[in-house]
């Protein structure tokens, strides 16, 4: 019998509350009911829960209806998803899974359930031995993220490789389509918000006055930014921030719902003078000012540096500390940078400085501690 070695998709992890026993070979295996927690899912109908296995309800039904031998199906696994579960498949996550138990049981530690002429499945450590007949059935289902070590050239081993190639091509085409859709959506949103800015009146009120964590009162562009965090992009407070600089607006959307609004993008980089980031709830999560281009030149990218904090001129680390008082904390980074942390109003504000000359590099407003 031709015996192939199959390493299934490994997105299943041992779930909470699992209990263990030893099979007749002395190998560990979960007792009933098997507990599997998915951290993610790539889309396959056969998944490893090392050292055990689960199959989707669709594949379980096909196995049960076949004349294949060397396995049992048990219908009571406890399937959960982790809090960070992400599906990478366009197919819906199966609502039913069953435990696949390869057999016969080995009689010695070295006899790791190796199939006989009458056996189509057996376990080999955390992998499976599968016959040509078993592989033929698996090839009719989604098993495109497994790794196959064929026993030799065979029609089903060739079909397995062809299925994987087709799945890879489809995934690439889907990724290109998603990227194009996001790019088109971002371009439409950039045009929309540009039109909103052109038609909305400029703010006439003075910037709000706010307290730092040590009760220093400040106002300026920085307090306008603090007031904009948590607002939707069309809010007049956010529009006021986008008005700080001129230049085209670029919008980048991600498939997980985040959106970046960049104004005055620096050529050849991901930086812009003003960067407004919206969380999936469509409210501003944080806002970033950049003062240097990627080469490290001291040329200011954000042009209103003298308007950031009223009364702070020139804008250096020394003048800011003198005006705001001691920060909550100071942290060095690996990029010859240090940053000071302040609390202004209800928002966290990070001032990034050049570690040598203490000139400003970046200010981030609103990122959680």
| pLDDT score recorded for residue 105 | 44
Burial 104-143 (b: 16+ CB within 10 A, else e): bebeeeeebbebeeebbbbbbeebbbbbbbbbbbbbebbb
User: Residue 104 pLDDT > 70, yes or no?
Assistant: no
Token pair listed for 294: 């990627």
| Confidence grade of residue 76 (pLDDT, cut at 50, 70, 90) | confident
More confident residue, 27 or 313: 313
Instruction: For residue range 34-61, list pLDDT tens digits in order.
Output: 999 999 999 999 999 988 999 999 999 9
| pLDDT score recorded for residue 296 | 56
Q: Which helix H or strand E contains 134, and what residues bound it? A: helix 132-138
Lowest mean pLDDT across 75-79, 104-108, 263-267, 324-328: 104-108
Contact 42, 145 (CB under 8 A): yes
Distances (CA, A) of 322 to 216, 287, 312, 325, 329: 10, 24, 9, 6, 15
Q: Residue for token digits 């010695």?
A: 108
| pLDDT score recorded for residue 21 | 79
| pLDDT score recorded for residue 174 | 86
Cα 89 from Cα 145, distance rounded (Å): 11
Question: Where would I find the beta strands (DSSP E) of 209-248?
Answer: 210-211, 217-218
Instruction: For residue range 171-183, list pLDDT tens digits in order.
Output: 888 888 888 888 8
Instruction: For residue range 271-327, list pLDDT tens digits in order.
Output: 788 999 999 999 999 999 988 765 555 454 788 888 999 999 899 999 999 999 999
Cα 53 from chain centroid (whole Å): 26
Instruction: For residue range 324-368, list pLDDT tens digits in order.
Output: 999 999 998 877 899 999 999 999 999 999 988 898 989 999 965
Instruction: For residue range 247-265, list pLDDT tens digits in order.
Output: 899 999 988 889 999 998 7
Q: What's the mean pLDDT when you consider all of the chain?
A: 88
Token pair listed for 49: 């829960």
| pLDDT score recorded for residue 294 | 57
Sheet holding 147-149, edge to edge: 121-124, 127-131, 3-7, 147-149
Question: 73 pairs with which residues across the strands?
Answer: 100
Q: Which helix H or strand E contains 352, and what residues bound it? A: strand 347-354
Cα 137 from Cα 146, distance rounded (Å): 15
Domain coordinates of the chain in residue numbers?
3-168, 200-367
């Amino acid at each position: 019998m031709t015996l192939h070695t199959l390493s299934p998709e490994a997105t299943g992890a041992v779930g909470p509350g699992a209990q263990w026993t030893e099979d007749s070979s002395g190998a560990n295996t979960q007792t009933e009911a098997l507990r599997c927690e998915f951290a993610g899912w790539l889309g396959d109908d056969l998944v490893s829960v090392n050292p055990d296995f689960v199959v989707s309800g669709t594949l379980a039904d096909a196995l049960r209806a076949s004349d294949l031998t060397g396995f049992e199906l048990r219908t009571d696994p406890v399937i959960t998803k982790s809090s960070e579960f992400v599906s990478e498949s366009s197919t819906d996550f199966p609502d039913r899974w069953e435990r696949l138990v390869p057999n016969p049981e080995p009689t010695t530690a070295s006899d790791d359930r190796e199939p006989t002429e009458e056996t189509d499945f057996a376990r080999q450590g955390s992998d499976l031995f599968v016959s040509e007949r078993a592989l033929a059935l698996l090839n009719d289902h989604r098993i495109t993220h497994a790794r196959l070590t064929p026993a030799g050239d065979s029609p089903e081993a060739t079909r397995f490789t062809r299925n994987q190639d087709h799945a890879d091509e489809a995934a690439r085409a889907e990724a290109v389509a998603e990227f194009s859709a996001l790019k088109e959506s971002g371009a439409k949103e950039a045009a929309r918000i540009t039109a909103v800015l052109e038609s909305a009146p400029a703010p006439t009120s003075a910037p709000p006055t706010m307290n730092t964590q040590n009760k220093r009162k400040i106002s300026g562009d920085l307090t306008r930014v603090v007031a904009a965090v948590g607002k939707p992009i069309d809010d007049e407070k956010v529009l006021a921030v986008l008005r700080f600089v001129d230049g085209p607006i670029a919008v980048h959307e991600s498939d997980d719902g985040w959106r970046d609004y960049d104004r005055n993008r620096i050529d050849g980089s991901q930086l812009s003078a003003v960067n407004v980031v919206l969380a999936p709830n469509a409210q501003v999560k944080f806002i970033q000012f950049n003062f240097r281009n990627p080469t490290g030149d001291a040329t200011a990218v954000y042009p209103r540096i003298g308007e950031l904090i009223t009364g702070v001129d020139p804008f250096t680390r020394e003048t800011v500390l003198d005006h705001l008082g001691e920060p909550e904390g100071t942290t060095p980074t690996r990029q010859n940078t240090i940053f000071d942390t302040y609390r202004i109003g209800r928002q966290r504000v990070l001032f990034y400085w050049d570690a040598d000359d203490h000139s400003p590099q970046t200010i981030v407003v609103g990122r959680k501690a």
